[in-house]
Amino acid sequence: MADPALMRQWTGTRATVMGRWWALGGSSEAVEHLALELDLPSSRIARHTIRGGSVPRSQRSPLLLAGLLATAGVSHFVAPRTFDAIVPRALPGTPRTWTYVSGAAELALAAGVALPRTRRVAALAAAGFFVGVFPANVKMAVDWRGKPAAQRAGAIGRLPLQVPLVLWARSVANNGEGRS
């Protein structure tokens, strides 16, 4: 039997097993090596690495939502001019400030949704955030009336997409592990 401390170290999460498998070369030989190291059947190791992926379905949705939020947050800093143009002028301050604030908020929400301990609260905040940025999407759709058809369609298409984003964030919150 494997050392209990080693078992705790390597079997805490599927992602840990996957990471160790990848560090060993990511091959079927690595599965065998890891199985010997953990004193587990190689079929169990393979199920978590080669055949089944490392993240169970219940954890994929929050991680995908976190990825979406992180990507959007980074894009606010990489291409701020795009976002400056859709900031409603009724807001105080400069559009660039709002672009950076919303990008930072999306990055913070991404981190919160990614972590099980804060997932519930962060996902609820993300749902509120998606509702809160809806006026910017409306402004974009109105402002882009004179743009080429593809851009107009994209701006208009964003409007109904807010609904599934809000529902997705609420679903993640309802299934989240974090409690406050």
Domain boundaries, the chain: 4-48, 57-175
- Residue 13: the pLDDT is 44
Identify residue 178 by its one-letter amino acid code: G
Between residues 49 and 107, which one has the greater pLDDT?
107
pLDDT band, residue 6 (cuts 50/70/90): very low
In this predicted model, what pLDDT tens digit does every residue of 77-131 receive, in sequence order? Answer: 999 998 898 888 888 999 999 999 999 999 999 999 999 999 999 999 999 999 9
- Residue 14: the pLDDT is 47
> Among 10-24, 51-65, 87-101, which stretch is predicted with the lowest mean pLDDT?
10-24
Average confidence (pLDDT) over 9-31: 52
What lies within 8 Å, CB to CB, of 47 at 6+ separation is: none
For residues 95 and 31, give the distance between their C-alpha atoms in angstroms, rounded to a whole number: 52
pLDDT band, residue 45 (cuts 50/70/90): very low
- Tell me what the pLDDT averaged over the chain comes to: 77
For residues 43 and 9, give the distance between their C-alpha atoms in angstroms, rounded to a whole number: 20
For residues 139 and 159, give the distance between their C-alpha atoms in angstroms, rounded to a whole number: 10
- Residue 133: the pLDDT is 87
The beta-carbon contacts of 126-133 under 8 Å, at least 24 apart in sequence, are 126/65, 126/69, 126/169, 126/172, 127/165, 127/166, 127/169, 127/170, 127/173, 129/105, 130/162, 130/165, 130/166, 130/169, 131/162, 131/166, 133/102, 133/162
